[in-house]
Structure formats: C-alpha cells, structure tokens
Amino acid sequence: MKEYVPRSGELFVVSGPSGAGKGTICRRLMEDPEEDQLMLSVSATTRAPREGEVDGVNYYFLSREEFEKRIENEEFLEYAEVYGNLYGTPLQPVLDTLAQGKDVLLEIDTQGAAKVKGTYPEGIFLFILPPSMRVLRQRLEGRGTDTQEVIERRLANTKAEVEEIGMYDYYVLNDDLEEAVATAKSILRAERTRVEKYALDLIRKFEEEE
C-alpha cells in the first residue's frame, strides 16, 4: 500500500492502566517485520541516563533548564513531572516522521494520553484493557508483594482510568496476549485504509495509471 498512496503518517497512541500490558503489546508491534514504517516515539527526560542508555534511543536526555525552555516554547505533545523528574514527548520528531508518511507509535499512561488528545486529536487512540477487576485483584494478591491497602488503591486507580475509556477510538482486551497483539495489528492496518483520509489520492492514483 505504501507505494500506492501518498499519505502522511498516523500517530497511534497506546495507553491504558499500568499492568494492562501496553509495553508488551508495543514491543510486539515494533518487532513485527511488516511494521517497518512504524517508528516508536522517544521521550525526553531530565533524569540522569542509566548504564547503557543511549541519548536519542532510550530517551532524549535534557537538562532541567533546557526541558523548561522547551515547555515554554510548546515543543512537547505532553509532559509531566514524576518524582522530581520531568518526562515529555517531543513534538517535532513526531511531526517529522508523520510528514515522511511513516507512522508513530506512542506508549503512554492515561494522563499523558489525555494531554495528547488535546494537542493532537487526529491521533488514533488505543486503550489496552485488562481482563477484569476480578483478574487484576487475583494477580495483585497472588504476587503477595503489596499490602492490602496498596492493592485497593491500585484497583481504585485502574477503575478510574477505565472510566475514561470514552476518549479512545479502540479498546484492545488483553485477556490473551496473542489475541491482543492481533487486534492491535488489525487496528493499525484498518486505519491505514480509511477512505476519508486517502480518497482523493486514491482516485488520482487509480486514474493516472491509465
């Protein structure tokens, strides 16, 4: 298809509660050899690089001063402060990739996704849905690492996050991982064949080859 229709890329935003499996699903998408036109968005952060982390690959490592200057200049799709460090999604690399006709995959928590919805509503928003409160509770209690209080707080957070699902375009039920990955791949594939985005290009291309 990429030889057939000139198109700008899509921003696919993958979000959902922590523990829903969004990281695993994104990794699987990036490993798919058919997804060679899909680029993973790299975040910026003010935290120090850890051993082996490469600037521009794992993160863009910025000083706080530089990060704050970029906030000022509206150079982030979204950003947030977590435990004293700033994290954000740089806008320009995303726009550059989309302009090349490639797609961008952005894995982000639900608060970040809500901000991206505000700054780039044209994105395609996928919500990774854990199987159910019951299964989540079993998993957390089965681990035996958290106190009952922590488990209750986490379940309440997850419930609140799921109640924001209305903002998203698609849900991906992560009950069975292989099924979830297949669903996510189908969504990417289907979105690339939406007529409203490509109809004029299609008609031109179809006719010009006569």
Cβ 17 to a second copy shortest distance, Å: 10
- Is 210 one of the binding residues for a second copy (CB under 8 A)? yes
- Is 33 one of the binding residues for a second copy (CB under 8 A)? no
- CA 188 to CA 168: how far, in whole Å? 14
Helix (H, G, I), strand (E, B) or coil at 143: helix
- Is 30 one of the binding residues for a second copy (CB under 8 A)? no
Helix (H, G, I), strand (E, B) or coil at 46: coil
User: Total number of residues binding a second copy (CB under 8 A)?
Assistant: 44
CB-count burial class (<10 Å; 0-12, 13-18, 19+) for 117: middle
Q: Which stretch binds a second copy (CB under 8 A): 42-50, 72-80, 85-93, 164-172?
A: 164-172
- CA 205 to CA 159: how far, in whole Å? 47
- Is 91 one of the binding residues for a second copy (CB under 8 A)? no
- Is 31 one of the binding residues for a second copy (CB under 8 A)? no
**Helix pair angle (148-162, 133-143), 10° resolution:** 150
Q: Across the chain, which distance is largest between two alpha carbons, in Å?
A: 69
Select 108 or 172, whichever has its Cβ closest to a second copy.
172
Cβ 31 to a second copy shortest distance, Å: 18
- CA 93 to CA 40: how far, in whole Å? 10
Of these, 47, 102, 154, 205, which contacts a second copy (CB under 8 A)?
205
Cα 117 → chain centroid: 11
- Is 95 one of the binding residues for a second copy (CB under 8 A)? no
Select 42 or 173, whichever has its Cβ closest to a second copy.
173
CB of 12 closer than 8 Å to CB of 107: no
Q: Which stretch binds a second copy (CB under 8 A): 20-28, 42-50, 78-86, 123-131?
A: 123-131
The structure tokens listed for 123 are 């994105």
- Is 4 one of the binding residues for a second copy (CB under 8 A)? yes
Select 91 or 202, whichever has its Cβ closest to a second copy.
202
Residue with tokens 């299609």: 202
* Chain residues in the site for a second copy (CB under 8 A): 1, 4, 127, 129-130, 132-135, 137, 155, 159, 162-163, 165-166, 168-173, 175, 182-183, 185-187, 189-191, 193-196, 198-199, 202-203, 205-207, 209-210
